[in-house]
Amino acid sequence: MSDTVLPDWSKLDSAAALAGNPLAGRDLLRLLDLSPQELHLVLSTAVAQKAAWAQGVVTAPYAGKAVGIILEKPSMRTRVSFEVAASRLGAHAVVMSDSNSAFSRGETVKDTTQVLERFVDTIIIRTFAQSKLEEVAHWARIPVINALTDSFHPCQGLADLLTIAEHKGDLSTLKLAYVGDGNNMAHTYLEGGALTGMHIHIATPPGFEPDETIVAECRAAAAQTGALLEVDHDFAAALANADVVITDTWTSMGSEAEHDERLAAFAGYQIDAAAMAQAAAGAIFMHCLPAHRGEEVTDEVMDAPFSAIYDEAENRLHAQKALVSLVLAQ
C-alpha cells in the first residue's frame, strides 16, 4: 500500500523506525478498527519482522516497556505468543489470569484500568462481552488489544490472514470457506474479508448464524474492497472452489453445557477428507485451535499435508509482535 511506511527491521535498533506510524497509540478491539491500508501495515510488518528474526536479527526496541495481559478465559496460544512477542521486543509481560485476573475482586473497570495504565504501556485482554473490552478502552489512555471476546478474535484474524497470504498469495483473489458455528471467528473472517477483498462464505447450521448486526457492518465495510460476503447454511456451496477451508470448535468457551445438543445440531458440518475434496485444488485447511478432533474436523484433515494449523498458530506470535510494535510506538 502506498500510504503506509514499513520500517526496515534489518536496521532497526530503536523504536525510532516505528515512530509516527498510523497505529501508534491505537486500540485494536476488532479488525474493522483498521483500514485496509492499516491492516496491510500490520501484516507487512509481521512479514518483515518474521524474516529478520529468521535471519538472526535481534532487537529490543521496547526495553523498559511493559504489557499487561488480562485473561478472564483459559488460553495457551494467546498467552504464550503475547509473552514471547513482548520478550522479543524487549518489553516485560505481566500476566493476570483466572483468580488473579485484574477484574477478579469486583473493583470497577474504571479503577482497575486507570491503575493498570500507571504500570503498563498497553493492555491486552481476553474477556467475555465486547462491551467490557470497550469499557476498558474507554477508560485507558494506553492502547488496548482484544485477545478474544465472545464477539471477535482479531489477533487470531491477523495471524490467519498472514498464514493465508504466505500459503496462497494475494488475499483479494481468494475464497475462504468457514463452516461451523457462527461465532467470534466467523465474525472475524467476515471482517478480514471486508478489509482485504477476499470472498468469504460462512455456512452454519440453522440457529447458529453469525450476529446479523456484525454481518451488516462487514457488508458495509466490504464496499471499500468489493469483497463478497456470503452467509447461509449451504455446506457444499461454501466448500466449492474454496482456496482456504476453516472450521472452529462447535462448543466455544462458555457453551460447554450445550455440548451434546451442539454435536447433534452440527452433524453434517464436519470437515473430513471428502469435504476437503470439494474445495479447490491446492486448498489449505486451517483451525485456530484448540480443535476437538473427531468433532468439527477429522484427524486425517488435521494431519494432512494441506493442513496449515501449526503455521497458523506460529503466526500468532509474528502478527501480535507486529501489532504491539506498531501500537506501542510514540
- Is there binding between residue 201 and ligand CP (CB under 6 A)? no
Contact 229, 194 (CB under 8 A): yes
Instruction: Assess whether 292 carries a catalytic annotation.
Output: no
Q: Which stretch binds ligand CP (CB under 6 A): 24-32, 75-83, 127-135, 210-218?
A: 75-83
Q: Which residue in 77, 316, 318, 320 is the catalytic one?
A: 316
Smaller CB distance to ligand CP: residue 72 or 117? 72
Q: Which of 77, 167, 175, 262 binds ligand CP (CB under 6 A)?
A: 77
> Number of helices and strands (H, E) in the chain?
12, 9
Instruction: Assess whether 218 carries a catalytic annotation.
Output: no
Task: Using CB positions, name the residue nearest to ligand CP.
Answer: 78
- Is there binding between residue 76 and ligand CP (CB under 6 A)? yes
How big is the site for ligand CP, counted in residues (CB under 6 A)? 8
Q: Which stretch binds ligand CP (CB under 6 A): 73-81, 128-136, 211-219, 277-285?
A: 73-81
- Is there binding between residue 19 and ligand CP (CB under 6 A)? no
Q: Which of 75, 113, 298, 320 binds ligand CP (CB under 6 A)?
A: 75
Q: Which of 288, 319, 327, 328 binds ligand CP (CB under 6 A)?
A: 288
Query: What is the nearest approach in angstroms of ligand CP to the Cβ of residue 76?
Result: 4
- Is there binding between residue 187 and ligand CP (CB under 6 A)? no
- Distance CA(47)–CA(45), nearest Å, equals 5
- Distance CA(114)–CA(317), nearest Å, equals 27
- Is there binding between residue 318 and ligand CP (CB under 6 A)? no
- Distance CA(280)–CA(240), nearest Å, equals 7
292: phi then psi, degrees, rounded to nearest 5: -105, 90
- Is there binding between residue 251 and ligand CP (CB under 6 A)? no
Q: Which residue in 160, 199, 218, 288 is the catalytic one?
A: 288
Smaller CB distance to ligand CP: residue 112 or 156? 156
DSSP of 154-172: HHHHHHHHHHHHHHH--GG
165: phi then psi, degrees, rounded to nearest 5: -60, -40
Q: Which stretch binds ligand CP (CB under 6 A): 74-82, 92-100, 104-112, 161-169?
A: 74-82
Instruction: Assess whether 153 carries a catalytic annotation.
Output: yes
Residue 208 Cα distances to 81, 165, 184, 190, angstroms: 30, 29, 12, 15
Site for ligand CP in 130-149 (CB under 6 A): 148
Instruction: Assess whether 248 carries a catalytic annotation.
Output: yes
Smaller CB distance to ligand CP: residue 49 or 149? 149
Query: What interhelical angle do 184-196 and 36-54 show, nearest 10?
Result: 100
57, amino acid identity: V
Query: What interhelical angle do 154-168 and 309-327 show, nearest 10?
Result: 120
- Distance CA(101)–CA(111), nearest Å, equals 14
| Residue closest to 120 by CA, chosen among 188, 62, 33 | 62
Query: What is the nearest approach in angstroms of ligand CP to the Cβ of residue 253?
Result: 8
- Is there binding between residue 320 and ligand CP (CB under 6 A)? no
Query: What is the nearest approach in angstroms of ligand CP to the Cβ of residue 156?
Result: 5
- Distance CA(191)–CA(31), nearest Å, equals 6
Helical spans, DSSP H, in the chain: 36-54, 77-88, 109-119, 130-139, 154-168, 184-196, 212-221, 235-239, 259-265, 273-277, 299-302, 309-327
Smaller CB distance to ligand CP: residue 78 or 163? 78
Catalytic residue annotation: 126, 153, 156, 248, 288, 316
The residues of the shown chain that bind ligand CP, judged by CB under 6 A, are 75-78, 148, 156, 288-289
